[in-house]
Chains A and B, each alone.
Chain A
Amino acid sequence: QSVLTQPPSVSGAPGQRVTISCTGSSSNIGAGYDVHWYQQLPGTAPKLLIYINTNRPSGAPDRFSGSKSGTSASLAIIGLQAEDEADYYCQSYDSSLSGSVFGTGTKVTVL
């Protein structure tokens, strides 16, 4: 059972905006630890999408944006595209576990 909770699924039509939440606690996100986001296309390894809360690595489309507030973080996809259909995971550090943790994962479906 992960300490970072995400909605199991979100969906939207092409061109719409969807948001994925990552809810933590005072021992991880709320303690100020950074949040990273990964995209996992079917049958492939995860790929870094957002690092240190809001930053996109080279090659990540600018329709993806990250934010963080309090004990939660969010990933927004602005202008959803068919190729965005994938699983998305958040990651942070948890001081009570003395290690990194991944979120429960969210499946994005493009209608």
Chain B
Amino acid sequence: QITLKESGPTLVKPTQTLTLTCTFSGFSLSSRAVGVGWIRQPPGKALEWLGVVYWDDDNRYSPSLKSRLTMTTDTFKNQVVLTVTNMDPVDTATYYCARRAGAFGGAFDYWGQGMLVTVSS
């Protein structure tokens, strides 16, 4: 059974750094063409792709957020960590991690439940 779950703070202050952890099970990030992606969704708005981390650390980030994003993997712990620097109220959103499967053409076939992060002083 494949599962993913996000964890981290639900409230951060403006200018602070957000660190979210995605803990997954049922698959290995050391498999070719398998990645873990981060997607966010501001309240009432559309999904926004943040980036993907792959088995070989070939990470890809959204160009508009690239300077603020870092994604790292801990293969032994089956975890992916997302770091977003200089948080702003506009970054308030539900943050999802999801598995990107090459067998599905790169679609996200399994998603975490999501985690609402609020940026407020």
Contact = CB atoms under 8 A, between A and B. Distances in A.
Interface in B70-121: 96, 104-109, 111-114
A103 interface: yes
Q: Please indicate which of the listed interface residues A38, A45, A47, A98 has the most CB atoms of chain B within 10 Å of its own CB.
A: A45
Interface residues of B, number: 23
A2 B46 contact: yes
A102 B108 contact: no
Q: Tell me the dominant secondary structure on chain A's binding face.
A: strand
Q: Please indicate which of the listed interface residues B51, B104, B112, B114 has the most CB atoms of chain A within 10 Å of its own CB.
A: B104
A89 B98 CA distance: 15
Contacts of B96: 45-46
B61 A51 contact: no
B49 interface: yes
B104 A102 contact: no
Nearest to B111: A45
A45 B114 CA distance: 7
Contacts, number: 69
Contacts of B114: 45
A99 B104 contact: no
Nearest to A40: B47
B108 A89 contact: no
B49 A101 contact: yes
B56 interface: no
B46 A105 contact: yes
Contacts of A102: 39, 46-49
Contacts of A44: 113
Contact of B104 (A45, A52, A105): A52
B112 A45 contact: yes
Contacts of A85: none
Nearest to B104: A51
Interface of A: 2, 34, 36, 38, 40, 44-48, 51-52, 55, 57, 89, 91, 93, 97-105
13 contacts: A36-B107, A45-B114, A46-B96, A46-B111, A48-B107, A48-B108, A48-B109, A52-B105, A89-B47, A93-B106, A100-B49, A101-B49, A102-B48
